[in-house]
Chain A
Amino acid sequence: MCCATSGPGATNLVTGLLDAMMDSVPLVAITGQVRTELMGTDGFQEADVCAITQPVTKRNMLISDVNRIGETIAEAFALARHGRPGPVLIDIPNDILKARTDATAVCEPLTYGGAGPRASDAAVRDAVARIRSARRPVAIIGGGVRAGAVDLYRLFVAMLGLPHAATINALGAAAPGDANYLGMLGMHGLKAANKAVQRADLLVALGMRFDDRVTGKPDRFAREAAVIHADIDATEFGKIVAADVTLHGDLRETLRALVDELARGHVPRFDDWAAEARLLGGPLPSDRVENDQLSATGVLDRLFAAIPDDAIVTTDVGQHQMWAAQRAQPAHPRKYATSAGLGAMGFGFPAAIGAAYANPGVPVYAIVGDGGFQMCLPELATLRRYDVPVKIVLIDNQNLGMVRQWQELFFSQRYSATNLADNPDFVAIARAYGIDAYAITAPAHAGDVIARFVASRGPALLHCACHPTENVWPMIPAGMTVDDLMEARA
C-alpha cells in the first residue's frame, strides 16, 4: 500500500497505479484531498483524483463520511486482492481525516463471499484430451503463477516432461535446474523458447495474456498450435489470440484440476520433444565489445553467479532489464520484480526498497540503467535515512540504451535524445548520500569488485561503466515473429 498527499502527490501516483494495473499487482493507495468545502473551488493542491485515476484502478472511492473510513479501507484491500489483483485508491478529504468518530476502530478483514470462477469440468477434460493427443505441446506460464500456483505448475510440467517457457512476469516459476525450461519468450526472449512455441501444435497458456511483446504478430504467432488458455480474467480470452479451450478460474485451482484429470488416465510424456525443443536454442548471442571495454552482459553474468540463491532482484526498464531477464534464474517468481506491462523507467530502485522492507534479512539487488536511475535518485536519501540494505547495480552505458538500439536498427541511426554521455559522477553522488560505492571500469577488475560489493554490508552502489553501444540479442522486431529473429546487426 502507499499514501500520497493531495494534488501533486496524488497525480504522481498515476504511473505506479497503472503499473500495478498492467502487472496485476494488488495495491491500495490512500490519497489526501482538500477539505470538503474547498472541493470544486480550484483550491490549493486540489485535483479530481478519482476522475484522474478511474482508468488506472479497479475502483476508487472518495470518502465523505468519517464513519465509513474503516469499512471502505477493508473493502479496498479485499477488492485489490480479489479475482485478478490490481490497484484500488481511496481519496480522503482533509476534514474527514480530522473528524472524530465513534465507529469501530478496527474493521475485520473483508473477503468477498462466494466461490470465484472455476474452470468447468468439461473444459478441463477437453484440455487434458488435447494434451494427451498433442505431439509438440508447449506450456507458457505468465504472471498468474504468482497466485500461489508455483508448486502445482512445477508438478504439472514435470509429470508431462513438458517443454515450457515463461513471460517476464513469471521468471522463477520453473523449478531450479529444470532442463525442460526454455527460458523467457518474446521480443528479447531465448531462441529455444520462441522457436518451440512457434513449432508447437498445442500451447498451454497459463495465467498469461499474449502481450504484444510475446506474440509480435498475432496472426503469425504459433500458427500450427491449438490453444488452451487459462486465466482468472475472462476478458483475456480471445483478446489477442483465439483459444480452443478456455479455463476460467484461479490458476492454482485450474492446475490442480488439470493434474487430477491427467492422473485419472494416461499421462503422456513429451521428453523427446522437450529434448528437441532445447536444441532449437543455443547460447545467448553476445554483442561486439572491444576487449578493454566492459560488457554489460559480462557484468550481469558475473553478478548472477555471485549473488545468493535466495536474493531478490528488481530491475528497471530498458536494455539491462532484458539482459537480466535472459540470465536471471530466480528461485521463485516473488524473487524477481520488474515493470513488465507498463515498462516504467524508475521502477527498479524504489521497488527494491519495498522488497527489502517486506523481506527483512533477504539480500535485495536493484539492477538499473543510467537513465532510469536518474529518475529516482532522491530515493538514495531514503536508503540512507532508514539504512535499507539494498544493493544497486548501475549498468551505465551513457545512453537510453534500448531506445538507442531501436534508433540504430530501425531509424537509420538517427539518434535523438538518447545520448547520456554527460552523465554525472554516480559514485560521487552515492557517497554524497553516505552510501558505499564501488566502480568497475575494466573487465579485468570485474570479478574482484563484484565479490567485494556482494560481501559488503548495508546499502551500496556498484557503478559499471559499460560499452555504450552493446545491443540486446536476440531480438524479434516489433510486430514480427520468430521467423524474423535477429541475432546480430545486419
Chain B
Amino acid sequence: MTCDLTLRDVRSVARIVNLAHRFNCRTTQIAVQADTTVIARFAFDGPDVALGRLRAQIDRIMSYEADLT
C-alpha cells in the first residue's frame, strides 16, 4: 500500500510509522520533503486487514490536520 500525503505537521510522519509498527505492517519506503507543508510518500507491506486499519488511522490523522489553521 502506498500513501501520498500532504501533511501540515511533520510529526505526523513519526506517528504514521509507529502506527504501521503497531499493526504489524512493514514500512518499506518513506520519502519526505518538509517545508511549510510536508509532502510524504509511504509504502507499507502487511496483511490486508492491518493495512486497512492503518489506512483508516491515517485518514483520521489527516482529518485532524485538515482542521488546523
* A residues in contact (CB < 8 Å) with B: 50, 54-55, 58-59, 75, 79, 82-83, 110, 112, 233-235, 239
Contact = CB atoms under 8 A, between A and B. Distances in A.
Interface SS of B by simple majority: helix
B18 A59 contact: no
B67 A112 contact: yes
Of residues A50, A58, A110, which shows the largest number of chain B Cβ atoms within 10 Å of its Cβ?
A: A58
B18 A55 contact: yes
A112 B67 CA distance: 7
Contacts of A58: 64
B63 interface: yes
Interface in B20-69: 53, 56-57, 59-60, 63-64, 67-69
B69 A235 contact: no
Contacts of A54: 11, 14-15
B18 A82 contact: no
Given A233-B60, A235-B60, A235-B63, 19 more contacts: A54-B14, A55-B15, A55-B18, A59-B9, A59-B64, A75-B69, A79-B64, A79-B67, A83-B63, A110-B69, A112-B67, A233-B63, A234-B59, A234-B63, A235-B56, A235-B57, A235-B59, A239-B53, A239-B56
B10 to A, nearest CB: 12
A112 B56 CA distance: 23
Contacts of B56: 235, 239
Of residues B11, B53, B60, B64, which shows the largest number of chain A Cβ atoms within 10 Å of its Cβ?
A: B64
Contacts of B15: 54-55
Contacts of B68: 59, 75, 79
Contacts of A55: 15, 18
A234 B53 CA distance: 13
B44 to A, nearest CB: 17
20 contacts: A50-B11, A54-B14, A55-B18, A58-B64, A59-B9, A59-B64, A59-B68, A75-B68, A75-B69, A79-B64, A82-B67, A83-B67, A110-B69, A233-B63, A234-B63, A235-B57, A235-B59, A235-B63, A239-B53, A239-B56
A118 B35 CA distance: 32
A83 B67 CA distance: 9
Nearest to B55: A235
Contacts of B67: 79, 82-83, 112
Of residues B11, B57, B67, which shows the largest number of chain A Cβ atoms within 10 Å of its Cβ?
A: B67
Nearest to B53: A239
Nearest to A59: B64
Nearest to A50: B11
Of residues A58, A75, A235, which shows the largest number of chain B Cβ atoms within 10 Å of its Cβ?
A: A235
Contacts of B64: 58-59, 79
A173 B61 CA distance: 30
A444 B49 CA distance: 55
The 7 closest A-B pairs by CB, nearest first: A235-B56, A235-B60, A58-B64, A235-B59, A82-B67, A54-B15, A112-B67
A75 B63 CA distance: 15
Nearest to B22: A55
Contacts of A239: 53, 56
Contacts of A50: 11
A166 to B, nearest CB: 25
Contacts of A235: 56-57, 59-60, 63
A233 B9 CA distance: 21
A233 B14 CA distance: 23
Contacts of B9: 59
Nearest to B62: A235
Contacts of A83: 63, 67
A50 B14 CA distance: 12
A420 to B, nearest CB: 34
B27 to A, nearest CB: 17
A82 B9 CA distance: 18
Contacts of A234: 59, 63
Nearest to A74: B69
A59 B63 CA distance: 11
A233 B60 CA distance: 8
A59 B64 CA distance: 8
Nearest to A60: B11
A253 to B, nearest CB: 17
A82 B68 CA distance: 11
B38 to A, nearest CB: 15
A54 B61 CA distance: 11
Contacts of A59: 9, 64, 68
